[in-house]
Amino acid sequence: MEAAVLSPDRQHLAVCSEVRTLLGFRVRQAGFVYSIRDRSIVGRIAQGRRASKEWLEAGS
C-alpha cells in the first residue's frame, strides 16, 4: 500500500497501491475504496498509470 486517506466519517479508506508486472519492470497503480466496518472493498478496483497531469486507465 502506497497511501490511504480516511474519509471524514471515518468509515472508509481511499487506498492507492503499486502493482508490478512479473519481472517488476512496469509499474501500474491500483486504487479502491475500503469499508472499515464491512472489511470489504466498495465498488471496483481501478487500475491504470499516472501521467504528468492525468490518470490513464489500464489498456489506454
The pLDDT value recorded for residue 60 is 52
Domain positions in the chain are: 3-54
The pLDDT value recorded for residue 37 is 96
Q: Give the model confidence (pLDDT) of 29-39 as tens digits.
A: 999 999 999 99
The pLDDT value recorded for residue 40 is 98
HSE value, Cβ hemisphere, 13 Å, CA-based, for 59: 2
Tell whether the model's pLDDT for residue 58 goes beyond 90.
Answer: no
Answer for the pair 46, 32: CB distance below 8 angstroms, yes or no.
yes
The pLDDT value recorded for residue 38 is 97
The strand pair at 40-50 and 55-57 is best described as: antiparallel
Q: Could you tell me the pTM of the whole model?
A: 0.75
29 Cβ contact partners less than 8 Å away, ≥ 6 residues apart: 2, 16, 17, 18, 19, 47, 48, 49, 50
Q: Give the model confidence (pLDDT) of 3-16 as tens digits.
A: 899 999 999 999 99
